[in-house]
Amino acid sequence: MGDWNSVVGKESYRNIAVPNGLGRKNHKGKMLINFCERNGLIVTNTLFRNPKRRMYTWKAPGDRS
């Protein structure tokens, strides 16, 4: 199925994504939210508040943020 590399960000969107995300929403994040909205799904990894270090699985070399 693949990986969308989407970021849904810290903004809440209806009942699809809640404000426990990380960063700013990117284009693929908007695509994911639209897909979830059309199919009655939610972004479950935003439902629970986690420490920042547990909210991502990979970091680009040289990224200092």
Residues 62, 60: Cα–Cα separation, whole Å = 6
Q: What angle do CA 61, 63, 64 make, to 5 degrees?
A: 135
CA 3 to each of CA 6, 7, 14, 15, 51: distance values in angstroms, whole numbers, following the listed order: 8, 11, 24, 23, 23
Residue 43 counted as domain residue: yes
Residue 63 counted as domain residue: no
Residue 57 counted as domain residue: no
- Give the pLDDT score at 2: 63
37: containing domain: 1-48
Residues 59, 65: Cα–Cα separation, whole Å = 9
**Identity at 53, one-letter amino acid code:** R
Predicted model pTM: 0.69
- Give the pLDDT score at 55: 67
Residue 39 counted as domain residue: yes
Mean pLDDT by 10 residues, the chain (65 residues): 75 83 84 92 80 71 72
